Amino acid sequence: MKTDYDIIVVGAGPAGSMTACHAAKKGARVLMIEKRQEIGASLRCAEGISREGLAKSKIVVDRSWVSAEIAGAKLVSPCGNYLRLDERNAGNEVGLVLNRHLFDKALAADAARAGTEIQLKTSATGLIKEGRVVRGVVGTSYGEPFKATAKCVVGADGYESQVGRWGGLDTTLKTNDITTCFQYRMTNLKVEPNFCEFLLGSVAPGGYAWIFPKGGDTANVGLGVLGSKLKKKGEVKAYLDKFIKNDERLKHGQPLEALAAAVSVSPPVEKSVSDGLLLVGDAARVIDPITGGGIANGCIQGVIAGQVLGECSQAGDFSDAALQRYEKLWRDELENKLYRNWMVKEKLITLPDKTLDDVVKVLSESDLKSMSVYSLLAALKEKLPDLVKEFEQFI
Amino acid sequence: MSAADWMIVNVDKCFHCGACVGSCPQNAIYLAEVVLEFNEKCNK
């Protein structure tokens, strides 16, 4: 079995597969390892993505991995004020609800067609280093000891983000920057089949509740609560069960699948590369701190990572200095928006239900052109300037 | 005896979501499919 590569990608989620695919397309010898026995399972995601995010990653929509095409979105305040935007004014911000089980496999298949080798049930439990330079991974593969060398290791290991920490990159999170989520795939619901719904306030302290349609009378119904607002064990599930029980459209629904997950709602990592090491996706903390959406950012970053790694492979140089091009390109694309949304989140989590009611009422009376965070903030800047003054430089 | 020896996971309640792994300040937990493993860095 081959044990030496140009690049080893740890984690076969969307960011890992996009990185592997684009690096392999440039001729790099790529191995992608996935510790689970199936790519795309088990699910840890609400599965929403904007069409814009897919377009930026040059991913062509394939209906086989689309559960529902979304016609609009609804933002609901604690007292029931709501802002509703349909596809006429929400444009490309409105997107799709994916079937991640199939979407992740499709991206991994693209990586394979580009030349990537894939090994399932293969865990990295540590890095091989020469001094400070990363030279490969050690772990297990199908229960047997595993060791492979590479000129560069890519940490695409999601929220867990252990590869970076093994390599000396700080990916630790404060409890204020972690959202703990619980979700049911539910059926027998009376919800709009093509509208995503976001419910703010004490229904999900420091986060929000969501209803993302999955086709017909089925939807992902979940919520996330900020880590620093949790007080008891099992509290997130209790919040979700209460939310469902109190909603006439949901209370007669039945679960088909239950899942728990944690989501980083932090600023991005301060450093995403070092000698022979690169982080991508949630491992680099590029999840949007407002929406909790991370698929698009991970894919966008993966494209950049793959292209830079391909060039590094051709030059035979994976040093920190050579990988700085990746650092610059993804930050140019994503960083300002991530920081802005993190600052907005920091403000949002302090607002009582009454203020959230006012915010949504103001937004509902505004002539909004899209559901983007920027568009919402711009409207608030005009009507409630005090609310946004701490981050108005980003608006 | 290290803390890793007496860490007990309630397998009936664990969703194998990895939240504890990413949140562990010691990077002392590893999630292998549905099993949580604690290494010698576990000290709290």
Query: Across the interface, which of A158, A162, A258 has its CB nearest the CB of B27?
Result: A162
Amino acid B34: pLDDT: 86
Q: What is the mean pLDDT of residues A108-115?
A: 98
Amino acid B15: pLDDT: 87
Using only C-alpha atoms, chain A has a radius of gyration, in whole angstroms, of 21
CA atoms of A218 and A253, how far apart (whole Å)? 9
Query: Across the interface, which of B16, B19, B27 has its CB nearest the CB of A165?
Result: B27
CA atoms of A155 and A8, how far apart (whole Å)? 9
The nearest CA of chain A is from the CA of B29 a distance in Å of 9
Which residue does chain A place closest to B28, by CA atoms? A162
By CB neighbour count within 10 A (0-12 exposed, 13-18 middle, 19+ buried), where does A351 fall? middle
Record: contact A158-B18, CB cut-off 8 A: yes
Q: Which tens digit of pLDDT belongs to each residue from A170-194?
A: 999 988 999 999 999 999 999 998 9
Which residue does chain B place closest to A167, by CA atoms? B27
Amino acid A163: pLDDT: 97
Task: Fill in the DSSP letter of residue A61.
Answer: P
φ/ψ bin of A13: left (φ > 0), alpha (ψ from -120 to 50), beta (otherwise): beta
Record: contact A159-B15, CB cut-off 8 A: no
- Cβ–Cβ < 8 Å for A94, A371: yes
The nearest CA of chain B is from the CA of A219 a distance in Å of 20
Beta strands A254-264 and B29-32, pairing class: unpaired
More confident residue, B19 or A169: A169
Q: Which tens digit of pLDDT belongs to each residue from A232-267?
A: 888 999 999 999 999 999 999 999 999 999 999 999
Amino acid A220: pLDDT: 97
Q: Encoding tokens for residue A318?
A: 């994976």
Q: Which tens digit of pLDDT belongs to each residue from A28-50?
A: 999 999 999 999 998 889 999 98
Which residue does chain A place closest to B33, by CA atoms? A36
Amino acid A93: pLDDT: 57
pLDDT tier for residue A153 given thresholds of 50, 70 and 90:
very high
Amino acid A233: pLDDT: 86
Relative orientation angle of helices A295-315 and A14-25, to the nearest 10 degrees: 30
pTM of the entire predicted model: 0.94
Record: contact B19-A35, CB cut-off 8 A: no
- Cβ–Cβ < 8 Å for A24, A110: no
* DSSP string across A79-132: TS-EEEEEHHHHGGG-EEEE-HHHHHHHHHHHHHHTT-EEESSEEEEEEEEETT
Average pLDDT of chain B is 86
Average pLDDT of chain A is 94
Q: What is the mean pLDDT of residues B34-41?
A: 89
Q: What is the mean pLDDT of residues B13-28?
A: 89
Which residue does chain B place closest to A234, by CA atoms? B13
Record: contact A261-B17, CB cut-off 8 A: yes
Which 3 state secondary structure label does DSSP give A347? Answer: helix
Task: Fill in the DSSP letter of residue A191.
Answer: S
Which 3 state secondary structure label does DSSP give A286? Answer: coil
Q: Report whether pLDDT(A359) > 80.
A: yes
Q: Encoding tokens for residue B8?
A: 């007990």
Q: Which tens digit of pLDDT belongs to each residue from A266-305?
A: 999 999 999 999 999 999 999 999 999 999 999 999 999 9
Q: Report whether pLDDT(A4) > 90.
A: yes
Q: In what order do the strands lie in the sheet with A218-226?
A: A82-86, A72-76, A195-199, A208-215, A218-226, A178-187, A254-264
Which 3 state secondary structure label does DSSP give A338? Answer: helix
Residue in A237, A170, A235, A243 with CA at minimum distance from that of residue A201: A243
pLDDT tier for residue A378 given thresholds of 50, 70 and 90:
confident
Which residue does chain B place closest to A166, by CA atoms? B27
φ/ψ bin of A216: left (φ > 0), alpha (ψ from -120 to 50), beta (otherwise): left
* DSSP string across A217-274: TEEEEEEEEEGGG--STTHHHHHHHHHHHT-TTTTT-EEEEEEEEEEE-SPPPS--EE
CA atoms of A55 and A292, how far apart (whole Å)? 19
The residues in B 1-44 lying below 8 A from A, measured between CB atoms, are: 13, 15-19, 21-23, 25, 27, 30-33
Q: Report whether pLDDT(B44) > 80.
A: no
Complex ipTM, two decimals? Answer: 0.87
Percent over 90 (pLDDT), chain A: 83
Record: contact A162-B18, CB cut-off 8 A: no
By CB neighbour count within 10 A (0-12 exposed, 13-18 middle, 19+ buried), where does B34 fall? exposed
Backbone angles phi, psi at A210, to 5 degrees: -135, 150
Indicate the length of chain B as a whole number.
44
CA atoms of A86 and A157, how far apart (whole Å)? 35
Candidates B30, B31, B37: best to mutate against A (most CBs of A within 10 A) is B30
pLDDT tier for residue A371 given thresholds of 50, 70 and 90:
confident
Record: contact A260-B33, CB cut-off 8 A: no
Q: Which tens digit of pLDDT belongs to each residue from A214-225?
A: 999 999 999 999
CA atoms of A22 and A330, how far apart (whole Å)? 15
Q: Which tens digit of pLDDT belongs to each residue from A117-133?
A: 999 999 999 999 999 99
Q: Report whether pLDDT(A91) > 80.
A: no
- Cβ–Cβ < 8 Å for A278, A321: no
Maximum pairwise Cα distance, chain B = 28
CA atoms within 13 A on the CB side of A124: 31
CA atoms of A356 and B42, how far apart (whole Å)? 41
By CB neighbour count within 10 A (0-12 exposed, 13-18 middle, 19+ buried), where does A383 fall? middle
Helix (H) or strand (E) holding A326: helix A320-348
Backbone angles phi, psi at A124, to 5 degrees: -95, 125
